[in-house]
């Protein structure tokens, strides 16, 4: 695949990621406007938001095993069409059953678009960089909408119509995605170029169906991410009501706070992209989740603009950073992207359960009580997710590092003469296993002179 084709595919994946994630990012204003515009109670509006996102997670789980067979281009176009029709029809009517039906159809489309984007990102040589670009794009788009939507009048139509328009605008970019046959060939070529193809495995081995690797680590990660997303989106779904009722702010002020928070998220994602893998994944995931837990408590107990803005801005600065590392960790567990899609769908399931969970907890225990429960849940799931980040063996190779169990520093070149190949480990390539060399029992202690450096001239 040429560099121009790879660059075009990355642009398409980032655009698709932005469209698919836009509904969860706009969840507070969608739930708030459903409640105000359709006369629903907060719990009923939260339930509609949960149903919307439940359709998204259902589509993701469905495509986890069938995405390659359908093909990225076809699946992406079907998802974007479902988004445009579903959200557009929900925005065009005031009948609650039709709004719910349109939201479900739109949610299925969002999940399909997200699944295609996440699977494509997982198959790239540097999935962390690609997911960072996607989070930057969706944060910027959602921030601009939070500044614009309060000036477009009330009612539930504006945010839903904005998501439908985003899907329509992304549609032409799907032409840059591969079809089913080319996707398999590209994945095989990428696997071969990054060291996955060896002498005993053909170039098509990476694309051949096989058992799901790292099942225990992947299951723990998926369960942790589900609870992680549920806790945060339980607060995110009612953040608008906290700002309006408990903190006593206007809708314009709340929208400005959300836009500033998402702008801070852009800075956080940029920092995560610059930091890369210097700290590994365990430290950003574990420490970041602890910081998020504190922000959740601060936002839920805020009674004025200062407390509300501080909690929301700091929270949204750290949240996309941790999410980018979680997506990168899931992508490293399976180069075919199955764990990435399933972990992303588990996240969508947690997001789906978030609004109704937040509404029920806030009704029973109040906003501060809800914040304490969610804070405790985040602290509980921080430990297992950090353990997966520390001990899962699907880590990408870091340039310039020497590891005991395989790989080589990126600066080492094997073969410098004419006609030789420079074997430089690619970023994101899996570690190469070291072949054990047997030593006879009677020769355990050997003189240093028995060893010498291998040179190109030694090859037969």
DSSP assignment of 386-417, as one string? HHHHHH-S-PPPPTT--BTTB---TT--S--S
**What residue spans of 301-337 are helical by DSSP H?**
305-332
Mean pLDDT, residues 414-435 taken together: 39
What is the per-residue pLDDT for 140?
Answer: 86
More confident residue, 192 or 18: 18
The token duo for 273 is 């992209």
Distance CA 188, CA 126 (A): 16
Report the DSSP beta bridge partners of residue 403. Answer: 406
Instruction: Say which range, 24-38, 58-72, 86-100, has the weakest mean pLDDT.
Output: 58-72
Whether the pLDDT of residue 423 is over 70: the answer is no
Mean pLDDT, the chain, integer: 76
| Whole-number pLDDT of residue 67 | 53
pLDDT digits (tens, 9 = 90+) for 431-443: 444 455 555 555 5
pLDDT tens for residues 221-264?
A: 999 999 999 998 888 878 888 998 888 888 889 888 988 887 88
Band of the pLDDT at 449, cuts 50, 70, 90?
A: low
Q: 290: pLDDT confidence band, cut at 50, 70 and 90?
A: very high
Q: Give yes or no for a contact between 315 and 261, defined as CB atoms under 8 angstroms apart.
A: yes
User: Mean of the pLDDT values across residues 294-313?
Assistant: 92
The mean per-residue pLDDT over the stretch 8-26 comes to 88
pTM (predicted TM-score): 0.65
Report the distance separating Cα 241 and Cα 191, nearest Å: 48
Q: What is the pLDDT of residue 129?
A: 77
Burial of 273 (0-12, 13-18, 19+ CB in 10 A): middle
pLDDT at 439: 58
DSSP string, 415-460: --STT-----PPTTPPPPPPPP----GGGSS--GGG-----GGG--
């Amino acid at each position: 695949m040429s560099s121009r084709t790879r660059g075009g595919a990355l642009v398409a994946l980032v655009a698709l990621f932005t469209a698919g994630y836009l509904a969860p990012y706009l969840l507070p204003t969608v739930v708030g406007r459903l409640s105000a515009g359709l006369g629903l109670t907060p719990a009923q509006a939260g339930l509609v938001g949960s149903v919307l996102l439940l359709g998204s997670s259902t589509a993701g789980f469905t495509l986890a095993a069938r995405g390659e067979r359908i093909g990225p281009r076809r699946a992406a176009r079907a998802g974007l069409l479902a988004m445009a029709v579903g959200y557009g029809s929900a925005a065009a009517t005031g009948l609650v059953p039709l709004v719910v039906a349109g939201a479900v159809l739109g949610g299925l489309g969002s999940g399909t678009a997200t699944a295609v984007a996440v699977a494509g990102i997982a198959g790239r040589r540097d999935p962390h960089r690609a997911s960072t670009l996607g989070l930057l794009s969706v944060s910027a788009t959602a921030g601009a909408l939070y500044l614009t939507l309060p000036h477009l009048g009330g009612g539930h139509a504006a945010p839903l119509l904005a998501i439908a328009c985003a899907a329509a605008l992304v549609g032409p970019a799907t032409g840059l995605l591969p079809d089913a046959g080319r996707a398999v060939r590209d994945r095989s070529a990428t696997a071969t170029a990054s060291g996955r193809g060896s002498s005993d495995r053909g170039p098509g081995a990476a694309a051949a169906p096989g058992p799901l690797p790292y099942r225990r680590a992947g299951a723990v990660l998926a369960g942790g991410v589900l609870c992680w997303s549920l806790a945060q989106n339980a607060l995110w779904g009612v953040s608008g009501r906290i700002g309006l009722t408990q903190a006593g702010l206007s809708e314009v002020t709340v929208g400005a706070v959300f836009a500033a928070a998402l702008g801070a998220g852009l800075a956080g994602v940029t920092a995560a992209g610059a930091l890369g893998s210097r700290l590994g994944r365990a430290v950003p995931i574990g420490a970041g989740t602890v910081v998020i837990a504190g922000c959740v408590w601060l936002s839920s107990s805020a009674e004025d603009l200062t407390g509300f803005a501080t909690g929301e801005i700091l929270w949204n600065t750290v949240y996309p950073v941790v999410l980018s590392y979680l997506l990168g960790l899931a992508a490293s567990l399976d180069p075919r992207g199955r764990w990435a899609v399933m972990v992303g769908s588990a996240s969508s399931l947690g997001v789906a359960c978030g609004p109704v969970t937040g509404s029920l907890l806030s009704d029973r225990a109040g906003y501060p009580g809800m914040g304490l429960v969610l804070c405790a849940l985040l602290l509980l799931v921080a430990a297992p997710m950090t353990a997966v980040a520390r001990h899962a063996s699907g880590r990408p190779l870091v340039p310039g590092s020497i590891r005991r169990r395989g790989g080589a520093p990126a600066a080492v070149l094997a073969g410098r003469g004419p006609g030789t190949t420079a074997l430089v480990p690619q970023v994101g390539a899996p570690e190469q296993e070291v072949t054990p060399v047997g030593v006879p029992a009677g020769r355990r202690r050997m003189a240093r002179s028995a060893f010498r450096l291998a040179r190109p001239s030694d090859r037969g």
